[in-house]
Amino acid sequence: MWRPGGIDRSTSLLIGLIVLSLTLLTVDLRASGAGVGATLREGVQGVLSPVQRAVSTATKPFAGFVESLSDLFSVNADNNRLRERVLELEQEVDRLRSLENRVREFEVLLGVVTPAGLDTITAEVLAVGISEFDHIRVISKGRNDGIGVGMPVIDEGGLVGRVVSVTATTAHVRLVVDPIETVAVRVERTGETGWLSGRGSGPMILELLNTDAAVLAGDILVTADGKYPSGIPVATVVRAARSEVGFSLRTEATPSAALSRIDLVYVLVYTQDSPGITVDDGSGRIPVVVPEDPGDRTSGESEEEPVTTTTTSVPDDPTP
Amino acid sequence: MRTRHVLIAAAVLLVAVILQTSLFARIRPFDVAPALTALVLVGYARHFPPETAMLLGFGAGLLQDLLAVSPLGLWALVMTAVAYATVRFRGRIEEDFKLMTPFVFAVTFGGLFLFAVLGTIFGEKTLADGGAVKKLLMPAIYNAVLSLAVLPFTAWTIGASRRPGTEFRL
């Protein structure tokens, strides 16, 4: 084989493999998640997912032991903090009960189906991404179980992420904290809308435009986007902030879901393209989309696509 | 070197990839896991001929690509570079074995940094990650510590031995 003078065999091979890698990169990016790359991925993941499942199960006791060791140090502090929190929450619950009743009345009037009304698929987290930069979780359900790309994934805390690729038996979930992800959100207390961007590690960035009200530490942010059903808790504001003239409000929020310790998740059977009617309530905020015919939807019974959503189109004139 | 050694190395790399994605999903001190596959690759690249080492790196990287959602070829390129760096520097490291731990740290950090840069170029926003520095440094530190156990293990699996003042031989 011809080689330029001064380049040894290993360097030639290195150059060849780099060229091959770049070719693969180009071909895969052009295929946009389809083509030979997708077929190979599905094959490999199909073969290895049972092994990952077995290893994950077998090592669970050991991993649990290590986890509990690290937890031991923070148990006392956690107990005190949680006691105080319980008292606060008991008061909060009383207030929320009355609000909940009121919301139900409005929902009945509007025909809105809440995320709780969607079908869910329970799945176990089998594996994580290859590197610390992959904000990915592999879950134990796939296409055969009814999971599709784009479906939102939640845990008991709130939004975990969304499905970005599916094989027959597994699915990849991209976490909301991934720098690629941006979620349209609404501040639950004030109703102001904006977006929340992941940063990989640490708190997420909340940006609100045209906001009159300040956000406070502890404000809960819920989804307000066609990509996700509305009303799912996404994050809690860490730092209070007020918008300055001519600038958007920008602050930080921590994810509601326990992303570093996800074990079981729920995939919402929901797609962005579900039909709906946009209802502009005249408030200048993101309009709500309600189903054309909500019908009688109960969890686990509906065969139709769920339709509750909101759109991200913000009216030109945000003033009420 | 025999085909059997290469097959053993490939099998151990496969196990490393599986452990990386399953066991280290839960055991994550300071919320970061080691880059086990890179470490195991360094362990084998010390002993194999350069071409074999780089092909092993390319294969391990390709396997990682197939399990990830990042573009195909990204990890293949990075792991090939890790194998190449090991092959290039192994002579010096074997002369002064104290250099091994710093080398593992450097090559892991370098590999992850290359991945982060390439990932950003190819649209993964990797360097936009708020904890990028921690995610580059911590796995490198873990790998440096784990190298004290993993490198002898990889040498043992292929029956590599070393006498003072000589190179490893299979």
Give me the interface pTM, i.e. the ipTM. 0.84
Tens digit of each residue's pLDDT (9 = 90 or more) over B70-129: 888 999 999 999 999 999 888 888 777 788 899 999 999 999 999 999 988 887 777 777
A306 neighbors A184 (Cβ within 8 angstroms):
no
pLDDT at A197 over 60: yes
- Mark yes or no for CB contact A17/B54 under 8 Å: yes
What's the confidence (pLDDT) of residue B36? 92
**Euclidean distance between CA atoms A96 and A218, whole angstroms:** 15
- C-beta atoms of B76 and A128 within 8 A: no
CA-to-CA separations, B34 to A91, A139, B108, in angstroms, rounded: 44, 22, 9
Phi, psi angles (nearest 5°) of residue A156: -65, -20
Contact B20/A59, CB-based, under 8 Å?
Answer: no
Average pLDDT estimate for A193-206: 86
Asked if residue B52 lies in contact with residue B6, where contact means CB atoms within 8 angstroms, the answer is yes
Nearest to B87 among A10, A125, A174 (CB): A10
Q: In the numeric block, which tokens belong to residue B4?
A: 């059997």
Question: How many CB atoms are closer than 10 A to CB A276?
Answer: 17
pLDDT of B8 strictly over 90: yes
> Looking at chain A, which residue has its C-alpha nearest residue B38?
A131
For A162, residues 6+ apart whose C-beta sits below 8 A from its C-beta are A150, A151, A152, A153, A173, A174, A181, A227, A228
Q: Residue A80: left (phi > 0), alpha (psi -120 to 50), or beta?
A: alpha
Q: Do A126 and B112 touch (CB under 8 A)?
A: no
Residue A194 clears pLDDT 50, i.e. is over it: yes
Q: Does B40 touch chain A (CB under 8 A)?
A: no
Which chain A residue has the Cα nearest residue B22? A127
Interface of B with A in 5-34 (CB under 8 A): 17-29, 31-33
In the predicted model, what is the mean pLDDT of chain A? 74
Q: Is A318 left (phi over 0), alpha (psi -120 to 50) or beta?
A: alpha
Sheet holding A309-310, edge to edge: A277-279, A288-290, A309-310
pLDDT at residue A6 in the model: 67
What would the pLDDT profile of A20-56 be if each residue is shown by its tens digit?
Answer: 999 998 888 888 767 777 888 888 888 888 888 888 7
| Total H helices, total E strands in chain A | 4, 15
pLDDT of residue A246 exceeding 50, the answer is yes
Q: CB distance B73–A132 less than 8 Å?
A: no
Q: Do B136 and B116 touch, CB atoms closer than 8 A? A: yes
Q: Which of A198, A265, A195 is nearest to A224 (CA)?
A: A195
The number of CA neighbours under 13 Å toward the Cβ of A268 is: 29
pLDDT of residue B13: 94
- Determine the residue among A1, A3, A17, A180 to mutate to test chain B binding: the one whose Cβ has the most chain B Cβ atoms within 10 Å: A17
**Count of H helices and E strands in chain B?**
6, 0
Query: pLDDT by residue (tens digit) across B22-80?
Result: 888 777 778 788 899 999 999 999 889 999 999 999 999 999 988 888 888 999 999 99
Ramachandran region, residue B125 (left: φ > 0; alpha: ψ -120 to 50; beta: rest): left
Tokens for A223?
Answer: 């989804």
For the stretch A252-301, pLDDT in tens is 899 988 887 777 888 988 876 544 333 334 443 333 333 333 333 333 33
The answer to whether the predicted template modeling score (pTM) of the entire model surpasses 0.90 is: no
CB contacts under 8 A, B 62-81 vs A, are 63-77, 80-81
Measured CA to CA, the distance from residue B170 to residue B2 in angstroms comes to 9
Rounded Cα distance between B170 and B166, Å, is: 12
Strand pairing of A204-208 and A220-223? unpaired
**Considering only CB atoms, which chain A residues are within 8 Å of B23?**
55-56, 59, 63
pLDDT-derived band at A307, boundaries 50, 70, 90: very low
Read off the amino acid at residue A197.
Answer: S
Q: Is the pLDDT of residue A73 over 70?
A: no
Tokens (6 digits) for A307: 């339709």
The DSSP result for A112-180, as a single string, is PPPGGGS-EEEEEEEEE-SSTT--EEEES--GGGT--TT-EEE-SSSEEEEEEEE-SS-EEEEETTSTT
Reply yes or no on whether the pLDDT at B164 is more than 80.
no
Instruction: Measure CA A128 to chain center.
Output: 15
Contact B73/A9, CB-based, under 8 Å? no
Least trusted range by pLDDT, from A82-86, B122-126, B152-156: B122-126
B84 touches A: beta carbon within 8 Å: yes
Size of interface A-B (CB pairs under 8 A): 176
Percentage of residues of chain A with pLDDT beyond 70: 71
